[in-house]
Amino acid sequence: MTDISMTVNGKAVSGSVEGRTLLVDFLRNDLRLTGTHVGCDTSQCGACVVHVDGLAVKACTMFAAEADGAEVATIEGQANADGSLNVIQQAFQDHHGLQCGFCTPGMVMSAAALLKDNPKPTEAEIRDYLEGNICRCTGYHNIVKAIMAASGQDVGAIAAE
Amino acid sequence: MPKDGGIGAATTRREDVRFLTGKGTYTDDIQRFGQAAAVFARSQVANGLIKSIDTSAAAAMPGVLAIFTGDDFVDVGGNPAGWLINSRDGEPMKEPKRPVLAHGKVRHVGDAYAAVIAETAEQARDAVEAIEADIEELPAIVDMAAALAGDNYVHDEIETNQCFDWGWIEDNRAAVDEAIKNAPHVTTLELVNNRLVPNAVEPRSSMAEYNASDDSYVLHTTSQNPHLTRLLISAFVLGIPENKLTVIAPDVGGGFGSKIYHYGEEALVLAAAKKVGRPVRWTADRTESFLTDAHGRDHVTKIELACDKDGKFLAFRTETMANVGAYLSNFSTATPTFLHGTLMAGNYTVPVIYTNVKAVFTNTAPVDAYRGAGRPEATFSIERVIDKAARELGIDPMEIRRRNFIKADQFPYAGAAGLEYDSGDYHALMDKLEQKVDRAGFAARRAASEAKGKLRGLGINTYVEACGIAPSNLVGVLGSRVGLYDAATVRVNATGNLAIMVGAHSHGQGHETVFPQIVGEMLGIDPASIEIVHGDTSKIPFGMGTYGSRSLAVCGSAMVRATEKIIAKASKIAAHMLEASAEDVEFADGAFTVKGTDKSVGFGEVALKAYIPHEFPIEDIEPGLEETAFYDPANFTYPAGAYACEVEVDPDTGQVSIERFIAVDDVGNVMNPIIVQGQIHGGVGQGVGQALLEGAVYDSEGQLLTGSYMDYTMPRAADLPFVEIDNSCVTPCTHNPLGVKGCGEAGAIGSPATVVNAVVDALQSGGKDVTHIDMPLTPGRVWAAMQ
């Protein structure tokens, strides 16, 4: 077992893990931050995306011990300080960018990473960036729309009736 | 305009807040003190004789609490088929037992033959590796035609691989043969409806708890229908009395059909929780999901369309082999029959129709209903052969469909495939589609594509589906072993707010938002004062859950009926309060008023009176304000639509890109447009996935070659366009109180043929003599077809 400590959503945490313990399991099982999900075993689905030292990372693909000393952000820490939804979360609600909600935390975390690097992405840039996030419910239509809206773009004309 | 937050309002979803902040509670998120983990030992071979299983080394591994094998379940029941199909000769279908754990033989890769319960999942996984199973590999039965012809059986005791040989409608067979023999034109098409893996992004998961003090169980599980799961476990598999078993489906991360069914893992964790005296959880990894979730589709079909020289349809004749896999999943026998054969009239007047379906056991995962379930297969066959016929006869694809549509004034229309459609206007749908497609501009768009070296095609498609599953009397005659009503309890609290307990289960459909919109409008109260309770058999009435686009049409109708009972009782209480007769009291906008006066009492005051019944006519009216209704539909509902797709095909690579997708759907009255549009987006995504990307592939030894997201191509964001949606053509359902038809499956039913029709059109425009390509239309297949 290895003792590790890190900062998660601004709070210092520590634990004792096996060498094989994945970051996602440490978050879910030890810290009880179950908003980060596991949808596959091959780093394809993106339901487990978190930020490690500011970069989007699939938490199923990183050992917990590798995050020792890191700054980790998860979906549970994304809302505004007053508890209200942040701009991306609010856009997902406003534009029905989620259905079953299982892929949603990963989508929101990926969208946040995209918009940090590219504040006004085109539709094509958003679709390409989401290559590592699978959603089975929405056909991505409203996810792409929500991310465009979150970046301040006018989405009123998209596939209007 | 709809009222604020009422019926028809584009209300955003209240449930989103928990999902967007990581506060959803999915089964795998639930952790209990002292919980143990289950991991399964699964067959690596498709067909094998279990000679021995030695668990002694595994039992000695660290953390191991118990090990189960098939021997532990020989005295309990099997997981049953929910629908009895009789063959053409009257013989009932073959129903081999589906045990909790394989016993004697393993029958598909992934078939579980043992399970380890340990302190942690890692320890259980290590111990599974230490189980020594001597399994003699036998030749695998994979190809359906070979399975029917051979004498190597998936289930030795039934001495055949044919589950049934079904004819619909058998009495029409001779007339159809005659019509085809004498027809001026017959178009024939052989096609494959490709096998799909549902792939809800949340893997299946089950957590069982046992309470020895009263011999009771609680099962949290990823289910679309917790009462059905409980019934199957109680009445068929483990025999746990229903009153001692609570089944809870909490937040569920997508289902698409795959979470309708009871699976052996649920029974295993229940038995294990009792044996080890601790909560036991199992969660599938993605590979287990691929290997053991019920797959979808997998038909091999020959369809013939007889028509006259003007393209007027005279008969359809279809022969299909439908793969049911190694065991009968709960609704596997209904899907290729009564959800497929009954839909073979499509949107058309066709004098005679005959469909023959042979269901075949193979050494592959069970196959069952997946979004659309039988209706995508019917639509694909019909609409592909019509497109081919139109080409052969030189008739425009919209025109040939219009010549054969059931006309708006012909409804209700009893078709030759046995269903009576209550309402529809297919010409209006096609007119709307034509208007949106801009056919006049297509030549210029095609020229622009050609200037880039691409071939452009336009695909047209229509569909009708049978939803709102289902009228129990009808499906009982047809072989269903369950009723398909649903139920709702409306509980008005003393302070006037509400809890509504519903049999439907929401796993993405937005019930928590939409159901309060409806009842809020009926009662004239704020929808925010209404909570929806679902998914817990200890709290909700006995309902049949969510699938078959039924939540609103069936459970929503039960909710309306229960609310009507609330209004009726509240009117009596209000009449007493107003010192008037009940006939003189009318209810509107949340207030009871004596007709022609300003004497009025609010809904909230009546609720309070019901629970604090002072000066109350206790001899005439019970206190309290809570009503339950069960609703059993009089008929299916019949959503319909007209779809178009424009594709570009790269003739050098065979790559297909979707340039436009237009979906015009009549789903009846719309309760919340953003929810309806979202359902259609998702359905189209899955349908386009089937057409272009997805396909489960077994090799000749029965190994699943597409067993992960690296091998099975899930649609990604860049594979799909924005979908143009129109829901303005509305013919309300005539037999349910909201006039709703359902929208959950439409996109998946309407889109595969639309895409393939478009690709064939593109290739034809490039001078290629291609009339059909089997899905998925991968670049390799499209390129090969062009050579």
CATH classification at residue B522: 3.30.365.10
- Residue A157: pLDDT band with limits 50, 70, 90: confident
Which positions of chain B have pLDDT values less than 70?
A: 1-3
Does some domain include residue A47? Answer: yes
B446 and B416 within one domain? yes
Report the residue from B286, B716, B726 with minimal CB separation from A42.
B286
**Helices (H) then strands (E): counts for chain A:** 5, 5
Helix (H) or strand (E) holding B50: strand B48-54
Q: Other CB atoms closer than 10 Å to residue B243's CB: what's the count?
A: 8
Contact B508 A89 (CB under 8 A): no
What torsion do the CA atoms of B438, B442, B443, B446 make, to the nearest 10 degrees?
A: 160
Does some domain include residue B677? Answer: yes
**Bridge pairing between strands A71-73 and A2-8:** parallel
Q: Is A87 on the interface with B (CB under 8 A)?
A: no
Does some domain include residue A105? Answer: yes
B374 and B361 within one domain? yes
How far is it, in rounded angstroms, from Cα B706 to Cα B290?
8
SS3 content of chain A, % helix, strand, coil (to 5): 35, 15, 50
Per CB-CB distance under 8 Å, the chain A contacts of B682 are 99, 136-139
Amino acid (1-letter code) at residue B310: D
Contact A127 B202 (CB under 8 A): no
Does some domain include residue A161? Answer: no
Size of interface A-B (CB pairs under 8 A): 194
- Residue A159: pLDDT band with limits 50, 70, 90: low
Our count of domains for chain A comes to: 2
CATH code (residue A19):
3.10.20.30
A60 and A11 within one domain? yes
How far is it, in rounded angstroms, from Cα B490 to Cα B494?
13
Domain boundary among B631, B658, B689: B631
Q: Is A113 on the interface with B (CB under 8 A)?
A: no
How far is it, in rounded angstroms, from Cα B107 to Cα B154?
7
How far is it, in rounded angstroms, from Cα B779 to Cα B591?
63
Domain of residue B124: give its range.
Answer: 31-138+202-253+259-292
How far is it, in rounded angstroms, from Cα B150 to Cα B131?
34
Q: Is A38 on the interface with B (CB under 8 A)?
A: yes
Q: In terms of DSSP H, where are the helices of B524-672? A: 557-577, 603-611
Cα separation of the two ends of chain B: 55
Per CB-CB distance under 8 Å, the chain B contacts of A93 are 12-13, 16-17, 20
Report the pLDDT value the prediction gives residue B4, as an integer from 0 to 100: 76
B578 and B466 within one domain? no
Q: Which residues contact B676 (CB under 8 A, 6 or more apart)?
A: B667, B670, B727, B743
Q: Is residue B647 helix, strand or coil?
A: strand
Please tell me the distance in Å from A119's CA to the nearest CA on chain B.
19
Report the pLDDT value the prediction gives residue A161, as an integer from 0 to 100: 47
A140, A144, A153, A158: best to mutate for the B interface, most B CBs within 10 A: A140
CATH code (residue B63):
3.90.1170.50
A98 and A61 within one domain? no
CA distances from B580 to A75, B524, B564, B583, B584 (A): 57, 22, 20, 8, 7
Which residue on chain A is closest to B255 by alpha carbon?
Answer: A100
- Helices B557-577 and B511-523 pack at an angle, to 10 degrees, of 30
Domain boundary among A42, A57, A77: A77
Our count of domains for chain B comes to: 3
Amino acid (1-letter code) at residue A14: S
Does some domain include residue B172? Answer: no
How far is it, in rounded angstroms, from Cα B323 to Cα B341?
15
B35 and B117 within one domain? yes
Which residue on chain A is closest to B433 by alpha carbon?
Answer: A161
A111 and A145 within one domain? yes
Does some domain include residue B457? Answer: yes
Among the listed residues B267, B256, B348, the one whose alpha carbon sits nearest the alpha carbon of residue B72:
B267
Report the pLDDT value the prediction gives residue B289, as an integer from 0 to 100: 98
B772 and B666 within one domain? yes
Among the listed residues B604, B513, B588, the one whose alpha carbon sits nearest the alpha carbon of residue B7:
B513
Does some domain include residue B153? Answer: no
Residue with tokens 């009435």: B541
Contact B678 A138 (CB under 8 A): yes
Does some domain include residue A82? Answer: no
B526 and B436 within one domain? no
Domain boundary among B631, B646, B669: B631
Per CB-CB distance under 8 Å, the chain A contacts of B727 are 161
A69 and A8 within one domain? yes
A72 and A104 within one domain? no
A64 and A21 within one domain? yes
**Greatest Cα pair distance in chain B:** 88
A97 and A49 within one domain? no
B355 and B235 within one domain? no
Domain boundary among A77, A97, A116: A77
Helix (H) or strand (E) holding B377: helix B375-393
Does some domain include residue B777? Answer: yes
Burial class (CB in 10 A: 0-12, 13-18, 19+), A42: middle
Q: Is A105 on the interface with B (CB under 8 A)?
A: yes
What torsion do the CA atoms of B168, B173, B178, B180 make, to the nearest 10 degrees?
A: 30
Q: Is A41 on the interface with B (CB under 8 A)?
A: yes
How far is it, in rounded angstroms, from Cα B546 to Cα B744?
10
A63 and A13 within one domain? yes
pLDDT in tens, B597-628: 999 999 999 999 999 999 999 999 999 999 99
Please tell me the distance in Å from A9's CA to the nearest CA on chain B.
13
Which residue on chain B is closest to A94 by alpha carbon?
Answer: B12
B606 and B585 within one domain? yes
Does some domain include residue B191? Answer: no
Contact A136 B717 (CB under 8 A): no
Please tell me the distance in Å from A155's CA to the nearest CA on chain B.
12
CB-facing half-sphere around the CA of A90: CA atoms within 13 A:
11
Contact B22 A76 (CB under 8 A): yes
B548 and B507 within one domain? yes
pLDDT in tens, A117-136: 999 999 999 999 999 999 99
Among the listed residues B640, B676, B641, the one whose alpha carbon sits nearest the alpha carbon of residue B661:
B641
Per CB-CB distance under 8 Å, the chain A contacts of B728 are 161
Contact A76 B21 (CB under 8 A): yes
A65 and A115 within one domain? no
Does some domain include residue A12? Answer: yes
Q: Is residue B42 helix, strand or coil?
A: strand
pLDDT in tens, A62-97: 999 999 999 999 999 999 999 999 999 999 999 999
Does some domain include residue B625? Answer: yes
Per CB-CB distance under 8 Å, the chain B contacts of A137 are 254, 508, 678, 682
Contact A130 B19 (CB under 8 A): no
Domain of residue A57: give its range.
Answer: 2-77
- Under DSSP, the state recorded for B159 is T
Domain boundary among B631, B648, B675: B631
CATH code (residue A124):
1.10.150.120
How far is it, in rounded angstroms, from Cα B471 to Cα B566?
25
A105 and A72 within one domain? no
B660 DSSP β-pair partners: B646
How far is it, in rounded angstroms, from Cα A118 to Cα B771?
45
Q: Which residues contact B781 (CB under 8 A, 6 or more apart)?
A: B654, B773, B774
Residue with tokens 């272009």: B692
A106 and A49 within one domain? no
**Bridge pairing between strands A49-52 and A71-73:** antiparallel
CA distances from B52 to A59, B70, B92 (A): 40, 11, 34
Token output for B542: 């006995």
Per CB-CB distance under 8 Å, the chain A contacts of B121 are none
Cross-sheet strand order for the sheet of B498-502? B530-534, B498-502, B486-492, B626-631
Dihedral over Cα of B125, B130, B131, B132: its sign: positive
Domain boundary among A58, A77, A96: A77
Q: Is A128 on the interface with B (CB under 8 A)?
A: yes
A104 and A69 within one domain? no
Report the pLDDT value the prediction gives residue B659, as an integer from 0 to 100: 97
Does some domain include residue A130? Answer: yes
On whether the pTM is more than 0.80, the answer is yes
Token output for A66: 């590798």
B226 and B280 within one domain? yes
ipTM associated with this complex: 0.98
Contact A101 B253 (CB under 8 A): yes
Q: Which residues contact B282 (CB under 8 A, 6 or more apart)?
A: B37, B38, B39, B40, B115, B205, B206, B207, B265, B268, B269
B646 and B617 within one domain? no
How far is it, in rounded angstroms, from Cα B27 to Cα B24?
10
Contact A141 B723 (CB under 8 A): yes
Does some domain include residue B701? Answer: yes
B700 and B626 within one domain? no
Report the pLDDT value the prediction gives residue A158, as an integer from 0 to 100: 86
Report the residue from B15, B16, B710 with minimal CB separation from A44.
B710
